[in-house]
């Protein structure tokens, strides 16, 4: 009897130690994987997911996972979770068997949520107006900035792009094709053009059910300077335009402050900075907004790079002439 008690106690102690070290490992691993743009897949049933879930996760029930593997991003690591960790372990095995190499079983979905909150809590806080470097993902250097009176953090990304300034501007100013390369854009077009450097744009972003889509009416102004080096800045802020009133069933968001800054390196390379501070309004908690927005520069720059590879991109000829004269 005594020996069986010892065995039982040892087994319990071993179980507790295993769970403890699993928790320590996840506390380190999940934030690292999230910083690399990992996708979180919750493999619980739709009913369980609808009751409560990590808002950053995607619901693919375990019994549907095998048939949806082809729809998963090929260039991002995957974090799987469920209610207890058992189904997510099975999901990891399925994904590994299908060739997905970077798959992390985070266990419970609540663990992924808590660790995301920890990432946000321990991210260095910036003084008002000061950009603080937060990391580097896929060749994009990331920064954040806290602004007085706003719960929404400003985000910046910087990278060197293989592409000329006129070609990049050709992509950026072709608003109608924005949904080809910008994440979650469902609709995008010019409302009106005042001048070549002053226009109004509209875009609508897809939002997961049960939330409503968001749309933005954006006043865009462009300026070019030569000194100390050729630079083009595209400023974007929300505004009111009588040609595009608010729509029923769509929440009108606010682009507080956003811009693209292109600096000339040579005829084939450009230094690109993109900044955003946007409030989607509505009932979405601001910490969720900041979490989703934190990866916007990476998604935007990666999408822009892919768009630049298309053969039908038309360069901005006005900018090309200005650069020739510089």
**For 10-36, how does the pLDDT look when each residue is reduced to its tens digit (9 = 90+)?**
443 333 333 433 443 444 566 667 767
Q: Is 58 exposed, middle or buried (0-12, 13-18, 19+ CB in 10 A)?
A: middle
- The pLDDT of residue 126: 54
- The pLDDT of residue 35: 66
Q: 34 or 103: which carries more pLDDT confidence?
A: 103
Determine what percent of the chain is predicted with pLDDT higher than 70.
Answer: 84
- The pLDDT of residue 166: 97
309-321: average pLDDT: 94
- The pLDDT of residue 235: 96
Q: 39 or 301: which carries more pLDDT confidence?
A: 301
Place of tokens 């070549």: 196
Confidence band of 112 (pLDDT split at 50, 70, 90): confident
Euclidean distance between CA atoms 165 and 320, whole angstroms = 8
Q: Does 248 score more than 70 pLDDT?
A: yes
- The pLDDT of residue 92: 92
- The pLDDT of residue 151: 84
Question: CB–CB of 273/141 below 8 Å?
Answer: no
Range with the poorest average pLDDT among 18-22, 143-147, 246-250, 312-316 = 18-22
**For 63-102, how does the pLDDT look when each residue is reduced to its tens digit (9 = 90+)?**
999 988 888 877 788 989 999 889 999 999 999 898 888 8
Q: Which residues participate in catalysis according to the annotation?
A: 82
- Taking alpha carbons only, the member of 226, 216, 220 closest to residue 282 is 216
What are the structural domains, with CATH classification, of the chain? 2-118 (3.40.250.10), 125-325 (3.30.530.20)
H helices present in 98-203, as ranges: 109-122, 165-172
Euclidean distance between CA atoms 322 and 196, whole angstroms = 14
- The pLDDT of residue 109: 86
Confidence band of 119 (pLDDT split at 50, 70, 90): low
Helix (H, G, I), strand (E, B) or coil at 60: coil
DSSP state letters, 105-135: EEEEHHHHHHHHHHHHHHSPPPPTT--EEEE
């Amino acid at each position: 009897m005594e020996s069986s008690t010892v065995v039982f106690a040892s087994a319990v102690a071993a179980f507790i130690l295993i769970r403890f070290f699993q928790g320590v490992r996840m506390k380190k691993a999940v934030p690292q994987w999230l910083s690399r743009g990992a996708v979180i897949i919750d493999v619980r049933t739709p009913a369980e997911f609808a009751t409560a879930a990590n808002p950053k996760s995607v619901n693919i029930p375990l019994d549907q996972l095998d048939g949806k593997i082809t729809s998963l991003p090929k260039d991002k690591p995957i974090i799987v979770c469920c209610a207890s960790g058992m189904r997510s372990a099975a999901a990891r095995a399925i994904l590994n068997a299908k060739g997905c190499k970077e798959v992390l079983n985070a266990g419970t979905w609540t663990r992924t949520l808590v660790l995301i909150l920890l990432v946000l809590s321990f991210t260095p806080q910036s003084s008002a107006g000061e950009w603080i470097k937060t990391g580097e993902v896929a060749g994009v250097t990331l920064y954040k900035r806290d602004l007085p009176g706003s719960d929404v953090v400003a985000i910046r990304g910087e990278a060197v792009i293989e592409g000329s300034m006129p070609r990049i501007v050709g992509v950026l100013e072709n608003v109608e094709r924005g949904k080809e390369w910008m994440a979650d854009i469902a609709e995008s077009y010019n409302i009106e053009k005042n001048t070549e450097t002053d226009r109004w744009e509209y875009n609508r972003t897809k939002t997961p059910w049960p939330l409503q889509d968001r749309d933005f009416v954006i006043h865009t102004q462009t300026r070019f300077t030569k000194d100390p080096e050729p630079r083009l800045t595209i400023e974007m802020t929300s505004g009111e335009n009588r040609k595009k009133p608010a729509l029923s069933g769509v929440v009108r968001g606010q682009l507080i402050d956003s811009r693209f800054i292109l600096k000339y390196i040579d005829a084939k390379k450009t230094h690109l900075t993109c900044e955003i501070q946007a409030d989607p309004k509505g009932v979405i908690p601001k910490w969720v907004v900041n979490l989703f927005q934190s990866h916007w520069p990476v998604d935007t720059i990666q999408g822009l790079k892919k768009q630049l590879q298309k053969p039908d991109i038309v360069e901005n000829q006005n900018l090309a002439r200005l650069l020739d004269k510089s």
